[in-house]
Amino acid sequence: MGKKHITTQTKEEMIKEGEALEKVLENDAERVISKKAAKEGALYIFSSYNNTIITLTDQFGNVLDSRSAGRLGFKGSKKSTPFAASKVAEALGQIAEKAGIRKVHISVKGVGSGRESAVRSIANQGFEILSIKDTTPIPHNGCRQRKPRRL
């Protein structure tokens, strides 16, 4: 092992370093305050056959937080239940209240069983729902069919 080098800082260097750290902390505080100042947000609910994922954004589309049934501790087939979806919505509703969001636009995507229960849970928490949009992708003509079999 090599020798250890000990560097000593002068008072001016320590003051400059402390000022730089204060600027970074102030910027972080401003960012959190701007997140809390948001009164309106959007909730994106993705419900598949295996899980339910809900993402909370502010009115500009910046992600504030995201929760899933697996993150809350549900395992296996219990992740895809409506009960798990309602618990995910409740957890994200509490986060939205802390961020100061009272009005939400909801976008629902997927075919899972947690779609309606998540929306109901959000409505029961007292949020003002401005719109509900279904963004599930639907094939208009489907994939190209295979050629007919010749006998």
Parse the chain into domains and list their residue ranges. 40-134
Low-confidence ranges of the chain (pLDDT < 50): 28-29, 32-33
77 closest CA partner among 48, 118, 120:
48
Q: CA angle, 33 as apex, 27 and 37 as ends, to 5°?
A: 145
- pLDDT value of residue 53: 95
Enter the CATH code of domain 40-134: 3.30.420.80
- pLDDT value of residue 142: 85
- pLDDT value of residue 29: 45
- CA 129, distance to chain mean position in Å, is 17
The pTM score is 0.70
- pLDDT value of residue 43: 95
